[in-house]
Amino acid sequence: LAEQLAANVDRHLTARETEYARTIHTAGTDLLKLINDILDLAKIESGTVSVDFASVTVADLEDYVERTFRPVAESKGLGFRVEIDPRMPETLQTDSKRLQQILRNLLSNAFKFTERGNVTLRAGLATEGWNPANETLNRAPSVVVFSVSDTGIGIPPAKQRIIFEAFQQADGSTSRKYGGTGLGLAISREIARLLGGEIGVVSAPDKGSTFKLYLPQSRLAARARATLREEVPVPPSPALGRAVAPQDEVRDDRHDLGPDDRVLLVVDDDLPFAQVLVKVAHRRGFKAVVASRGAAGMALARELHPHAITLDLKLPDVSGWRLLRQLKKDLSTRHIPVHVISVQDELVSALSQGALAVASKPLTSEAVDAAIARLQEWISRPVRNLLLVEDDDVQRLSITELIGNGDVRTLAVPTGAEALAAAQQDPFDCTVIDLGLPDMDGVELIERLRRLPTFGDRPIIVYTARDLDRPEEERLGRLAQSVIVKDPLAAGRLVDQTALFLHRAVGRMPEAQRRLLERLHDPNVALGGKKVLLVDDDVRNLFAMTSILERHGMVVVSAENGRDAIAALHGTPGIDAVLMDIMLPEMDGHETIRAIRGSEGFKTLPIIAVTAKAMKGDREKCIEAGASDYLAKPIDTEQLLSLLRVWLGR
């Protein structure tokens, strides 16, 4: 509520009143952080915290530190350096989130207590310096050390031991001048122990401090980053400093683009592989531009409007999955064919999100050439081929007219046999199938199409009036890229999905279809007029969330317990989504969600679980109960609205 007041959208508050609201919000946020720190420390000391050891890329860690603390340094006018020893391995075997938490605490303190000078983070290998009694580090084949140094106020020798105790600071006046609770270092010390390491400090008053975090690397060999087999010559794997190098280390054509050039945007942080893609693109008649980070890739896509994109899913700043979603959500870029080339598993999921094709690294030279050739062939054809399989004559005609025939050639057939015959003659770019066919079941048709060598992974959209049960939904989810159940809004979704999989440029579509897509993808239209059932037993939460939702044009129906929620759902027609608190009296949120899912007509209703319980496994419990998604309190307004847009847009 304080955040909403401080925003002062309606301009009813004076400058001083908005400052009061901002202060309340800041104080509440600080209190919440204190509570979280206390809970964190309590869980660590009680032995109930688990650590998730996995491979952590040092380049990703370096990028996280830069993104988080570079703005802090600039705002305080301090120097900030991150220095990585060239001998540092590319990967560590540790808990990424816990390691980030320690570094965040150490760097936050360094910036807090430094008014002039600089802060430096160094990372490298260590052969000594830790407590000789630490057997984990003594036995480790390799030990890494993260060192955070500052030129701040320093710590007297007599105080250097107590600063690692809970609620302790070097000087009683410190909390008054600099803020803080004295929990950060205590938590960091305990987490370091959980990870098999330790933290030490060297400091002198008025000369600054150096905190060192020692951790076992766990394995000697850094994970190879090569993404090509021997058939494609690749320079030696780059050192850490080059792993997140700027894109201009790959020679590309960004300064030599003409209006008639075909442009390929390569989004990949593996620079040797990106260089190979550039060379193959040149042979195929493309000019190529390389982006080694997702944010730069999205900016270049919007600026250059490339003809095609290759995308790695593992990027140093943002997930490639997120970038793919952004590209396909933005009407100005969703038509650009994207070929996903990555080492990640489950690549086939990218096809459902609108990728033209996928390929798993490592690739042979022939596979690299085939990937660029497929993009080249796609953009060389101005007309897309759509196969429509629908036995109803009227619907077959109306769907053909709905999709439009300007840049799409539609072959409409009434039977599965005709569809199979057509698919053997012509590799259609997308296929729309009704499940209720006269000669065979639609699912059988899909399975037979998938077995055709000419069909492969081409997108299939199921468009049906059949009420699908869970096994059918799961089976179709494996066979088709999209399933649309016929209802009053289904026609619009069909236009949207066919446009996505055919990579149609919205600006070149017929006016009726273009306006339909613009309306479907307008974030304000997606929420305006929608009816939401808000279930929470705390009237303060009801008031705050109702204010947010109504400000975006939504209609809110509220209930304070599970039984009232079910009654409201049955008694109020047209509810589009449910926001369900889990901690409810009498009938908790899990039980209420199960009851809703068990009622006729609510199996696909979007239900977002909202809970103050943010413990491990809570999300899984909510999804298992039948929730569509999960949101932890305190509510982030943008995250709430984003989730609603996603689910209401389906």
Written as one string, the DSSP assignment of 559-626 is: ESSHHHHHHHHHHSTT--EEEEESS-SSS-HHHHHHHHHHSTT-TT--EEEEES---TTHHHHHHHHT
Work out the angle at residue 467's Cα, subtended by the Cα atoms of residues 462 and 469, and round it to the nearest 5 degrees.
95
pLDDT band at 525 (very low <50, low <70, confident <90, very high): low
Residue pointed to by tokens 């803080």: 180
pLDDT at 177 > cutoff 60? no
**Is the pLDDT higher at 629 or at 397?**
397
pTM above the 0.75 mark?
no
The band of 169, judged by pLDDT with boundaries at 50, 70 and 90, is very low
Please say if the pLDDT value at position 38 is more than 70: no
* 306 or 203, higher pLDDT: 306
User: Nearest 10 degrees: CA dihedral of 99, 103, 104, 107?
Assistant: 180
Q: What is the mean pLDDT of the chain?
A: 82
Q: How confident is the model at residue 11 (pLDDT cuts 50, 70, 90)?
A: confident
pLDDT mean over 314-339: 88
Quick one: how far is CA 225 from the chain centroid? 22
Residue position matching structure tokens 């780059």: 238
Does residue 419 carry a pLDDT above 60? yes
Please give the share of the chain, as a percent, with pLDDT higher than 90. Answer: 34
Which run of H or E residues covers position 11? none
pLDDT at 222: 28
> Can you give the pLDDT at residue 312?
93
User: Would the CA dihedral through 573, 496, 401, 464 be positive or negative?
Assistant: negative
pLDDT in tens, 121-165: 999 999 888 888 888 888 888 899 999 999 988 888 877 666 776
Binned at pLDDT 50, 70 and 90, residue 59 comes out as: confident
Task: Report the interhelical angle of 96-112 vs 184-194 (nearest 10°).
Answer: 150
Q: Are 372 and 278 in contact (CB under 8 A)?
A: no
**pLDDT of 157:** 81
Q: CA 108 to CA 202: how far, in whole Å? A: 17
How would you write 436-487 as a 3-class SS string? ECCCCEHHHHHHHHHCCCCCCCCCEEEEECCCCCHHHHHHHHHHCCEEEECC
* Band of residue 385 on the pLDDT scale cut at 50, 70, 90: very high
> In this structure, which CATH number among 3.30.420.140, 3.40.50.300, 3.40.50.2300, 3.40.720.10 belongs to the domain 526-648?
3.40.50.2300
> Residue 394, exposed/middle/buried by CB under 10 A (0-12, 13-18, 19+)?
exposed
Give the residue, 647 or 464, on which the prediction is more confident. 464
pLDDT digits (tens, 9 = 90+) for 221-264: 222 223 333 333 333 333 323 333 344 467 899 889 998 999 99
Give the whole-angstrom CA distance, residue 270 versus residue 239. 12
Q: Tell me the two tokens of residue 176.
A: 């008054």
What pLDDT does 221 receive?
A: 28
Confidence class for position 498, pLDDT limits 50, 70, 90: very high
- Give mean pLDDT, residues 591-604: 91
Please check whether the domain covering 240-380 is classified as CATH 3.40.50.1370.
no
Mean pLDDT, residues 532-555: 87
Structure tokens that stand for 278 in this block: 């550039």
| The predicted structure's pLDDT at residue 15 | 80
Nearest to 472 by CA among 485, 486, 490: 485
- What pLDDT is recorded for position 187? 82
Concatenating the DSSP letter of every residue in 229-280 gives: -TTS--PPPPPHHHHT--GGGS--STTS--TT--EEEEE-S-HHHHHHHHHH
Give the β-pairing of 338-342 and 357-360: parallel
- Lookup: tokens for 424: 């053997």
Render pLDDT for 465-484 as a digit per residue (tens, 0 to 9): 887 766 777 778 788 988 88
pLDDT tier, 72 (very low <50, low <70, confident <90, very high otherwise): confident
**Distance in angstroms (rounded) separating the CA atoms of residues 263 and 305:** 8
Pick the most confident of 157-161, 314-318, 571-575.
Answer: 571-575
pLDDT at 408 over 70: yes
The better pLDDT of the pair 245, 53 is held by: 53
- At the fourth CATH level, the homologous superfamily of domain 384-520 is Response regulator (3.40.50.2300)
In the structure, what pLDDT confidence band is assigned to residue 524 with cuts at 50, 70 and 90? Answer: low
pLDDT in the model for residue 539: 78
Q: What is the pLDDT of residues 97-129, one digit of tens each?
A: 889 889 988 998 899 889 899 999 999 999 888
Residue with tokens 């442009």: 263
Q: Region of 47 please: left (phi>0), alpha (psi -120 to 50) or beta.
A: left
Q: Which pLDDT value is given to residue 41?
A: 63
Confidence band, pLDDT 50/70/90 cuts, at residue 380? very high
pLDDT of residue 568: 93
pLDDT at 566 over 70: yes
CATH architecture of 53-216: 2-Layer Sandwich (3.30)
Q: Is the pLDDT of residue 31 over 50?
A: yes
pLDDT of 34: 61
- Which range among 186-200, 296-310, 412-426 shows the weakest confidence by mean pLDDT? 186-200
Decide which of 570 and 23 is more confident. Answer: 570
